[in-house]
Chains A and B, each alone.
Chain A
């Protein structure tokens, strides 16, 4: 079952185009990471899905409804981000009670346990919380609501390392116990790549890549070998990043070698090493500029 469908969706703010004819669809029950550089429109996509903002053109379906002004979408989805605010007349405890009334799948025991674990004070107000605490509190609401579509936009903003790790672990455990469609965005792909099943990579105003994390990783490969071996090799190949460590070089290239070529590389003493999703993502979104090292070596390729 398809939960989210984007068809030629365009969003402009004045003359600035944020999303340009974006098309993708997300199946039910998949944990998808929405990844992209700063300001590519990750939040815009999420807000359009939640029905908070309206696309300029194109067709959007969430649970086969147009999300903007849809009560069905609002009742079955929750968007956790830094604009999630609550009246200063309500204490944290009141807010949990209110969430219980609004969300039919609300898991009150889980909310209470997380609330206690992260040592919140019942009488505190959400606006008085620190940035990290506020993010944590909002994340608790997002988790405990058990909405069929749960959207986290940069949920770990301001959280310290320990809380961040706890949150991702809580998210994974809760997702396994209550499978549902989850969207998660983060600037730090390396933090969440073990958690994700699929990645939706937004770049240049559109969906550059959408698929399993492993597919993204397999698009690239890292070659490690002696400097002189690598430098003869790189003459006619597109390099996405390179690093020189002593007498060894490591370069990141597209993974389109034939088995014969791989055999040949091995005999030459060049190792093929799989790359992390994060490295692949950086390679995809930065192009062949050669990385920051080249800025200092004066060998920047434009």
Chain B
């Protein structure tokens, strides 16, 4: 009987296709999260009116960001979910090693992020669309697919990239949790303690800095670059943390 000499790329490809079939459950939860986002999105509009003489202007601000925020939460939890024991054992029922499992899981998360990020933008459009029927606007300013395709593209890309970032953060957190039972309580403590510590880095708040690092970027290319570098670092950490993990114990 001859021995197979498998290539990492072949195994990763097979596993990725396998995960597309096996992990379909994550898209059901995405649907639920975005529906919640849409429903809550209607409640977040703010507005007012101003009048001068005979002219009265009624205005309201609407945001399509609520589904995006819910999608980010979803992405973070999916990142954790695919690192859990059940998912790992399933993967090792077929041909796998830790590296191929990590890469294929990560590719799956990126794939899911593209879908989820795009759907989130569209869900935001649904909110704007339905609201515009309700309030009968004279002027509306929004970057729709047809009115300004370039803006819409940037919006969607940003949404996809943020989703991928959150999925990666979930993945690295999940990897640490799988590594040791003590990580979870430490993590929860950290969430409450770190903001109180007011960690300073060259006189500036660390958290505010991190948020600004992504949030204030105006160039899509630079933003893409920042996200890619961050995701790569998170992924490398995840691989490092899980390379000794025992499976199917």
Q: Which residues of B pack against A, CB within 8 Å?
A: 1-6, 8, 11, 14, 17-18, 21-25, 86, 89-90, 92-100, 243-244, 246-249
Partner of A83, one of B21, B25, B244, B249: B249
Write the chain B residue with the least CB distance to A82: B248
Number of A residues near B (Cβ < 8 Å) is 36
Q: Quick one: which of A101-141 are within 8 Å of B by CB?
A: 101-105
Which of A63, A71, A101, A146 has the most C-beta atoms of chain B within 10 angstroms of its own C-beta?
A: A71
Say whether chain B's binding surface is mostly helix, strand, loop, or mixed.
Answer: loop
6 additional A-B pairs beyond A52-B92, A101-B14, beta carbons within 8 Å, are A69-B97, A69-B243, A70-B97, A83-B249, A85-B93, A101-B18
What is the CA–CA distance of A88 and B90 in the complex, to the nearest angstrom?
10
Flag if A72 contacts B6 (CB, 8 Å).
yes
User: How many Å from the CB of B83 to the closest CB on chain A?
Assistant: 15
Residue-wise, chain A 64-105 has the 8 Å CB interface mask toward B (1 for contact) of 000001111011100101011111111000100011011111
Q: 10 closest A-B pairs (Cβ-Cβ)? A: A87-B22, A83-B248, A75-B6, A53-B246, A102-B94, A148-B1, A69-B97, A75-B4, A75-B95, A102-B95
Flag if A87 contacts B90 (CB, 8 Å).
yes
Chain A residues with CB below 8 A from B23, complex form: 87, 89
User: How many Å from the CB of B21 to the closest CB on chain A?
Assistant: 6
Chain A residues with CB below 8 A from B4, complex form: 72, 75-76, 104
Flag if B14 contacts A102 (CB, 8 Å).
yes
Write the chain B residue with the least CB distance to A103: B95
Is A274 part of the binding interface, using a Cβ–Cβ cutoff of 8 Å? no
Flag if A179 contacts B1 (CB, 8 Å).
yes
Chain A residues with CB below 8 A from B95, complex form: 71, 74-75, 102-103
User: How many Å from the CB of A93 to the closest CB on chain B?
Assistant: 12
